[in-house]
Structure 1
Amino acid sequence: MPRADDGHFIGPGLSWPKLIRAADSGLSGGSTTNPHARLLLLLPALGDDALSDDDAPSIACRRRARLHRGRCT
């Protein structure tokens, strides 16, 4: 197991707030500018085990919005 001080520490992933900020950022250079698609692409990087009850509906809403090209309300 790599030590944290040798420059190769592999952490648990992104927290939910950081994942949402990354998905909603309008920064160019990614594979898509669609925030719903970004969230779905970043979801495997989620390492936060302290999600609230509101987070699952948020993921479902973004998935529906992406599939149906609609908006997440």
Structure 2
Amino acid sequence: MAFTCPQCGAVAKTRTSEMMSEETRRSYHQCQNILCGCTFTMITSIERYLTLPTPPATSDGFSYPETGLSGQPLR
């Protein structure tokens, strides 16, 4: 993912990132303008969920539908 350099406005590419928590990540960026060369970090975090999470998947990766074709709950 590319961002804009805060110093010169050129493209700044993500070089690496690390998880700080389950919902927060720190990423390291480098400006692609050779005359600038700015490097900086950004922190990305989940602010809020826009939809409710789906039911958890089973251990084999399969997840069960909540409703049948008629729209009636299965459970």
TM-score, normalization by structure 2: 0.24
Q: Which has the larger radius of gyration?
A: 2
TM-score (normalised: structure 1): 0.25
Greater helix fraction, Structure 1 or Structure 2: 1
Q: Which has the higher strand share?
A: 2
